[in-house]
Amino acid sequence: KGDYAAAERTLERALAMREHEIRPRNDVDVAGCLGNIGNILFKQGEVERARTFMQRAVDLYEKCSPNDSRFAA
């Protein structure tokens, strides 16, 4: 079993950097961090907190351009 607490702390630092320090801001990267945090929280049984992070990720993904090559099938 992984060290979810350490992973969560690391991802929260990465999220803060992506949201506030890296310019220009890349919402796809921010959404990826949010989703990863949501996954970790879910695995720890923190379903409601996980849902909050996942919803934030979905909201950002929906705002991203449909022409973004990272979403190509």
Q: Per residue in 17-52, pLDDT tens?
A: 999 999 988 899 999 999 999 999 999 999 999 999
Cα–Cα distance list, 14 to 1, 18, 25, 30 (Å): 22, 6, 13, 9
CA separation for the pair 20, 2 (Å, rounded): 28
pLDDT (tens digit per residue) in 3-23:
999 999 999 999 999 999 999
